[in-house]
A and B are shown apart, each in its own frame.
Chain A
């Protein structure tokens, strides 16, 4: 499997990272080099193997359904780049 510049553009768009044409062109051989190398995993017969889901056997706990950190709006917004009126501010999303 090898990626071309159109594929790199599509991945970058899925990853929400703006890329220039020059960056895309530089990325194509780099990603192909890495993807070519990881393709050796295809050699391993895994037909009878379950994918790993937990590295150390552990029971997934559910916490009690209670509010633990409520009433901390100002703390939550403290690092927001553009908070407004107690909310996260974003560019206009409706016409």
Chain B
């Protein structure tokens, strides 16, 4: 039999049900893989006991003939999800040692579906970053390397870079991610895996450390589209504890998966052809257009005229919400407290936040505080919210002409660690293709579609109408079937 860690979510679930192996064997295999991959720094906390407990329960259930949706399947959990009794830090010193007394709704749903947890995955601090260089627990390193013989450590993407690195290295079969402006899709593209951000409101935000509440949305990351569909079904659903949760039934996305795109119109937004985009990205996009045509879709050009304003609007709205959300880290209720000799309450707040937040988090809090401050609120924040309305209207107009959109996921392949972190603005520009759909709350997915000249993965993005996760998954599957992406990083860790 092939190594268990070569199997994805569906293969583990089905093999466990068929009696090919026990859940305990699966948990042991992945626990060993996690323990043997410390060089990737993908985990902040490893939880082998959690995975084993879930596996032993699954094995007992199987002996009684009962199976849950994810019985036998262990996964990685991004450290942004509160997990009861297990340190949850959002990769920040300010939450170091924090052990929640409660479980996030998404993780609770996954455990209720039978999944076990291999550990808490490293990430950009408070999900702020596109390279995993802002974690207080060190950079995550991509398992991929350029084929030029150099060993430059590469960014796994961000913010869900621990998730993407661990899946690409096959030390977890799947993981949770969260996406505020592209934090599932961009790391998926950088590491040659799949990931979907569902419609805003599909997954409860309750118990997820908040970054920008009107944008944050959890989603799955896995090796292929079907595995994403399985995980997304288990994560989604109405939660009365989240006021923005959608009170709608969860469709059976897995059973309705089909790569047949006949009758579908796929839009190509002309504004996504940005200056300076590498020819390889453009060629991949053309290839993607050919693939969806081959799957039966009709391809039409569409216009999203406010695309160029999406990033600047995002970098007002997200920091504004972050500055408000992160006000709760005050050194009183949980996490770090810095109390200089003789300090009063205000000094304690300022000292705690200075010591606990990383540089990028401070930068965004300051931008957010500035754009919300008296005299600037209308010029920046209200204007950005109006532009956001226009960006959402662009998509509404596009849906008059097409059912889905196809774009590249990121403007480049993975860059080397350290290459962009001196210039925050250059880093922000990496999210140019993922941010507009986030601002509009739409479901969007990245699937691996090819390799660049340096042997690094490139992704294509499918964007759908609100609530049309099925359409997005189906187009993703059509691309996956045609791309035949089987490349994987050679183990060096």
Residue numbers in A under 8 Å from B214 (CB-CB): 55
CB atoms of B334 and A15 under 8 A apart:
no
* Chain B, range 359-387, C-beta contacts under 8 Å to A: 362-363, 365-367, 369-370, 373, 376, 379-380, 382-387
* Chain A, range 59-95, C-beta contacts under 8 Å to B: 60-61, 63, 72, 75-76, 78-82, 88, 90-93
Assess whether B390 is interfacial by the CB under 8 Å rule.
yes
CB atoms of B331 and A78 under 8 A apart:
no
Residue numbers in A under 8 Å from B247 (CB-CB): 61
CB atoms of A41 and B345 under 8 A apart:
no
Chain B: interface residue count, which band? 35 or more
Residue numbers in B under 8 Å from A39 (CB-CB): 312
A interface majority secondary structure: loop
CB atoms of B366 and A11 under 8 A apart:
yes
- Max chain B CB contacts within 10 Å: which of A8, A11, A19? A11
How far is A11 from B357 in the complex, measured between Cα atoms in Å? 16
Residue numbers in B under 8 Å from A4 (CB-CB): none
B interface majority secondary structure: helix
Residue numbers in A under 8 Å from B386 (CB-CB): 44, 46, 49-52
Chain A: interface residue count, which band? 35 or more
How far is A13 from B244 in the complex, measured between Cα atoms in Å? 32
Closest 7 CB pairs of A and B: A51-B385, A55-B441, A46-B386, A79-B334, A81-B337, A18-B354, A18-B350
User: CB within 8 Å of A: which residues of B?
Assistant: 97-102, 199-201, 214-215, 240, 243-244, 246-247, 306, 308-309, 312-313, 315-316, 323, 327, 330-337, 339, 343-351, 353-354, 357, 362-363, 365-367, 369-370, 373, 376, 379-380, 382-390, 392, 424-425, 428, 439-441, 466
A selection of 24 A-B contacts at a CB cut-off of 8 Å is A1-B376, A1-B379, A3-B370, A12-B366, A16-B327, A16-B353, A18-B350, A18-B354, A34-B367, A34-B424, A35-B370, A44-B306, A46-B383, A51-B385, A53-B385, A55-B215, A58-B201, A61-B240, A75-B102, A78-B99, A81-B337, A91-B339, A91-B343, A91-B344
